[in-house]
Amino acid sequence: MELLQGRIRDYAWGSRTAIAQLQGRPVPSDGPEAELWLGAHPGAPATVERAGAPVSLTELLVAEPDHWLGERLVGRFGIRLPFLLKVLAADAPLSLQAHPDAEQAQAGHAADADRVNYVDPYHKPELLVALSEFDALCGFRDPAVSAAALAAFGVPALEPVVAALRAGPAGLREAVRLLLSWPEAERPGLVADVLAAEAGGPDATLARGLAVDYPADPGVLVALLLHHVRLAPGEAIWMPAGNLHAYLSGTGVEIMAASDNVLRGGLTPKRVDVRELLRVLRFEVLDEPVVAPVPVAPGVVTWPVPVEDFALHRVELTADGRGAWLALPGPRVVLCRAGRLTVDDGVGTVVLEPGQAAVGSAAAGGPLVIGGEGEAFVATCGLR
C-alpha cells in the first residue's frame, strides 16, 4: 500500500466544514468543498508520490496496467480503475438527476461529440453510505401517494399532473414530462401558487424549502414524486441507472462506477436536458431505496449491490488489539475516517489518520490486513 492524495471538487453546494474537519484542517475552508475524489477518473485523478513529486494514478494505470489492475480487470473493464470512491459533503441540495445504463452511456458517448451529456462511455450506478444524518430524494414512490400530495395544494393548473399520477406507474412519465416541460413564463406563478396553498405536512415543507433557492423551478414539484429519506449514519442508498434522485444535505462516503455522466432535470443553474432525461429515466416505483449494512466478519460490514464495478466495506476496530483480515481482490483504495490505522497488503504498510487514504495494486495479491483503532472504508472491484 502507498499513500494516495485525493482531489477536492469545489461545487457550490459543498460544505465549508465537513471535509476540512475530516482531514484535520482549519474550518471554515476558504470555499465550498463538495467532494473528495479518491480514484483515477480523468476529471480529478488522485495522486501518489514518485521521486518527491505527485504522479496521477491514471498515468500509473496506463503505464503498468497488469501491475495495478491485473489481467482479469483489464479484460473486463479495460485499462481503467472501474470504481471511484468519494466523500460527499452537501450543505445545499444537488440537482435532480439520473444516470444512464451501460448501453445508453456507450451509445450516447459515441453520438455526443461535444460531450454535453455523456462525458464517459460508462454507466454510473452509485451507493452512498451516510456518515452523518443524510437527507435525500431517491427513486419514484407510489404514484397514488404523489397524486394525493399534489392534489392537497389545491392548484387547478396541477390537475393534469394529478390525473396522470392517478393512472399509476403508467402515468409517471406523463406526470414528469408535464412538470419539466412547463412553459418558462408560467413557472414562477405555478411554484408561487403551490407555496401559497394552506397544505401542510412533510411534502409542503419540502417544497417550501427547495423553493427558497429555486422559486421558478418545476423540479420543486417533481421532488414530491420521489421517496424522501433521512439516513442514519451507516445506512445507505443504492441508486441504479435511470433512477431520479437528489441529495439534499449531509455527509457520506459514496462509491460508484467511474463515470461522470449526469443528466439533470432541475434544482440547478446548470444545463437541463429534459428530452434526454426522459429517455433514460426508469418510470417505475423504487420499492426500497435504503440499504442496511450486512456483517461479513467481526467489525466488518458491506452493502451488497448487483454490479461488478465496485464493492464497499467498512472496518471498525476497537482498542482490544484485534485487527481485520480482508480477502478482497486488488486494486484497493482505503480511506481512514477515524482513529489511527495501519494498512498492509503484503507489499507495503502505511499508517493512516482521519481523511488520509491509501492505494494498493492488484499485484499485491494477498489479503488486506488492517490494524489499530478506528474506522476505515475499503473500496474494491466487485468481481469475484
Per annotation, catalytic residue among 141, 264, 314, 332 = 264
Distance CA 354, CA 335 (A): 8
76 is known as an active-site residue: no
Distance CA 72, CA 355 (A): 30
Q: Name residues whose C-beta falls within 8 Å of residue 383's C-beta, 6 or more positions apart in sequence.
A: 72, 73, 76, 308, 329
Specify the 3-state DSSP secondary structure of 21. Answer: helix
Q: Name residues whose C-beta falls within 8 Å of residue 376's C-beta, 6 or more positions apart in sequence.
A: 314, 315, 334, 335, 336, 337, 341, 343, 352, 370
Q: Name residues whose C-beta falls within 8 Å of residue 123's C-beta, 6 or more positions apart in sequence.
A: 99, 100, 101, 102, 104, 105, 241, 257, 259, 261
Specify the 3-state DSSP secondary structure of 88. Answer: strand
Tell me if 6 sits within 8 A of 361, measured CB to CB: no
Distance CA 235, CA 231 (A): 6
Q: Which candidate, 332, 338, 327, places its Cα nearest to that of 2? A: 332
Q: Which candidate, 133, 139, 108, places its Cα nearest to that of 122? A: 108
Burial (Cβ within 10 Å: 0-12, 13-18, ≥19) of residue 245: buried
Q: What are the cell numbers at 47?
A: 495522486
So which residues are the catalytic ones? 264
